[in-house]
Structure 1
Amino acid sequence: MSAHIEAETVRPVRSWKLSENTRDRLISIASPILLLLVWEIAARTGLIDTRFFPAPSSIFETLVTLSSTGELWQHTAASLQRLFIGFLVGGIPALILGIIMGLSRPVRAVFDPLISATYPIPKSSILPLALLIFGLGEGSKIFMVAIGVFFPVAINATAGVREINKIYLDVGRNFKASRWDTFRTIALPGALPVIMTGIKLGVGMGLVLIAIAEMMGAKSGLGYMIWAAWETFSVEQMYVGLFVIAIIGFVLTLVLNEIEKRLVPWKR
């Protein structure tokens, strides 16, 4: 009887342990918060020059002010619109060309030297040429984003297709698959993991280039806001623009990661 009572009262102690995904997410959230906290302390204690590195609290106050007036939303919307259009203009042709280059040696022989020669050119150095061709309007900004997106997507799409096991392509040929079926059912799904990496790189490059392009001849956008703040030495406003660009990049990366999990579940 006593043994039965002891068996009921004594229960095993469960060890509480975070999963790897939860732990990684907590670290991802904690690391920028810790950086901002150290920055705030350094600014308030005079360890850094607040003329160039204002405290995050003052930057946040400026962000709230710009948000309440609607100015920040206007500039953010303008940059996002250019980024989205430029991504489509540069990304879709790059995806198609990259997959075709991966499937066809003659096409690869034609375009690979051209891409290899033009890819190392600093994309920001193309801005004067873009302004000369497209003027100060939206065309030059969209062109800069498209150029930034094109190369990573095209190169990664080609590499992704070439990494596909040839047995899958042979099976497609044996079943008399058309070129479109090969493109749609073999090349594109097989290259998706590498293509998604190229898309992430392209989005990041597009954000960099849209900020640079908006500093020249634009009247709206986050790049324009940063440049205008520099001209008036509004350092807090400059940091607001930089922070918003960083947040956009972070959010877009999270969105692309979720899309990748849905499209490429075997890569988890």
Structure 2
Amino acid sequence: MTVVSADNAAAAGSAGAMPRSPIARGERRAILLLAGAMVALNLALAAAGLWGDFAWPAIGLSFVLLVLLCERIGRLVPVKHKGAYERTLALGFPLVVLVLWELAADSGFINPNWFPPPSKIGVALWDLSTRYDRFSGTTLLGRPWLMPEAFSQDGWAGVWKLAAESHVLATVGRVLFGFMLGAIPGVLVGVVMGLNQTVRLMLDTTLSAIYVLPKIAIFPIVMLMFADPFGEAPKILVVGLSVFILMAINTMAAVRGIDNVYLMAGKNYGAKGWSMLRHVILPGAMPVIFSGLRIALGTAMIVIISVEFVRAKQGVGYMTFYYWEVLNPEKMYAGLVVVMVLGVLLTYALQWLQRRLMPWQK
């Protein structure tokens, strides 16, 4: 027993050494078989001249084999390297997709006119980021490299003049204002609906009926509410309405879903009224509320991009639709890339806020 324990300790302590158990050897054999099967499948179809005819089944089966392969590799990764492995997996797969997209466009497997390779999209994104459009008087980012000089000459007014050119700033500003306009009252109304049956019965059916309406369909109605129907207020309000309805329904469900054990524990410790709401109900509902906020943020992005398609002269949605109209697919895809990047950054910001407001989840 002493010898076995010493051997095991030595094997466990060897840095970077692969486990030598029969299970590990079996995993390595499975990895080689899966990798060989994936390569052999594609090479056999290519050699027979059938890859183009069976491309989508081959891609689907290759993806399944790749998932199984990565799962087997993950089982052999030491615990201390699990984080690095997971980050590699999360970033590596999109890179593989981009490389395959580039190769498919260069080889003519997909039409590069409608599906331009990522390299051309990157060039278009760089051009949009650095070029001033004299026709519309806009830029993608507002030419931040000129802001120090503008500040020295005209102060903050010069900086704001450059920032006002930005498609990104216009879209982000509409999303954030609309999101806050809808999320704050939506959460408050949802809490009241969750706590009060009368309010819930009065509002639940109405909110559910409005929720299923396409938000772009109510935009013309919102435009009629303002003296300037083509200004910023209708765009922000339609985003706010979309977020409000979603957050009211989500928060109501979150409050009603709180475990009775928490409520009973709060009562036993003397919590009631505002104390119960602050220390029990809101913390108990907050995980579901933040899940709803994340969905609402994505909805806000979808709504504002759709609105900018049809009624805007500035914004990432307007820019993307404009380049579709003039048949410039590289810059159209660049606009879509900007939308995705904005979605990721705003989601990370929301997750950062969630970690600050819910430290107990760590």
- For normalisation by structure 2, the TM-score amounts to 0.66
The CA deviation at 1:174 is 5.8
Residue number among 222, 231, 244 corresponding to 2:316 in the alignment: 222
Question: What residue in structure 2 maps to residue 4 of structure 1?
Answer: none
In our comparison, the structure showing a higher alpha carbon Rg is 2
Q: Distance in 2 between matches of 1:257 and 1:21?
A: 19
Equivalent pairs counted in the alignment come to 260
Q: Distance in 1 between matches of 2:353 and 2:94?
A: 24
1:160 is the counterpart of 2:260:
no
Question: What residue in structure 2 maps to residue 32 of structure 1?
Answer: 94
Residue number among 122, 136, 146 corresponding to 2:230 in the alignment: 136
Q: Distance in 1 between matches of 2:216 and 2:130?
A: 33
Question: What residue in structure 2 maps to residue 50 of structure 1?
Answer: 112
The CA deviation at 1:197 is 0.6
Question: What residue in structure 2 maps to residue 145 of structure 1?
Answer: 239
Letter in 2 for 1:152: L
Which range is displaced more, 158-167 or 74-83? Answer: 158-167
Q: Distance in 2 between matches of 1:124 and 1:20?
A: 44
Residue number among 173, 188, 194 corresponding to 1:96 in the alignment: 188
Q: Deviations over 1:210-232 (max 9, x none)?
A: 00111223111001101211221
Q: Distance in 1 between matches of 2:127 and 2:300?
A: 27
Which range is displaced more, 105-114 or 195-204? Answer: 105-114
Residue number among 121, 128, 134 corresponding to 1:66 in the alignment: 128
Q: Is the 8 A contact 1:155 1:198 kept in 2?
A: no
The CA deviation at 1:175 is 5.9
Query: 1:151-230, aligned counterparts within 5 Å?
Result: 151-173=245-267, 177=271, 179-230=273-324
Q: Is the 8 A contact 2:116 2:330 kept in 1?
A: yes
Q: Is the 8 A contact 2:194 2:255 kept in 1?
A: yes
Q: Distance in 1 between matches of 2:331 and 2:117?
A: 12
Secondary structure, counterpart of 2:194 in structure 1: helix
Secondary structure, counterpart of 1:133 in structure 2: coil
Q: Distance in 1 between matches of 2:84 and 2:239?
A: 34
Residue number among 339, 346, 354 corresponding to 1:260 in the alignment: 354
Q: Are the structure 2 counterparts of residues 21 and 101 from structure 1 closer, same or farther at C-alpha, using a change threshold of 3 Å?
A: farther
Letter in 2 for 1:245: V
Question: What residue in structure 1 maps to residue 66 of structure 2?
Answer: none
The CA deviation at 1:25 is 2.4
Letter in 1 for 2:89: I
Q: Distance in 2 between matches of 1:256 and 1:23?
A: 25
Letter in 1 for 2:78: K
**Which structure 2 segments of 5+ residues have no match?**
1-6, 18-76, 133-138, 142-165
Q: Distance in 1 between matches of 2:83 and 2:249?
A: 30
The CA deviation at 1:178 is 5.2
Letter in 2 for 1:112: D
Q: Is the 8 A contact 2:170 2:315 kept in 1?
A: yes
- For normalisation by structure 1, the TM-score amounts to 0.88
Letter in 2 for 1:78: A
Runs of 4+ in 1 over 6 A off after TM superposition: none
Which range is displaced more, 91-100 or 160-169? Answer: 160-169
Q: Distance in 2 between matches of 1:154 and 1:25?
A: 35
Q: Distance in 2 between matches of 1:216 and 1:142?
A: 14
Q: Are the structure 2 counterparts of residues 119 and 40 from structure 1 closer, same or farther at C-alpha, using a change threshold of 3 Å?
A: same
Q: Are the structure 2 counterparts of residues 265 and 229 from structure 1 closer, same or farther at C-alpha, using a change threshold of 3 Å?
A: same
Q: Distance in 2 between matches of 1:41 and 1:98?
A: 50
1:17 is the counterpart of 2:65:
no
Q: Are the structure 2 counterparts of residues 253 and 223 from structure 1 closer, same or farther at C-alpha, using a change threshold of 3 Å?
A: same
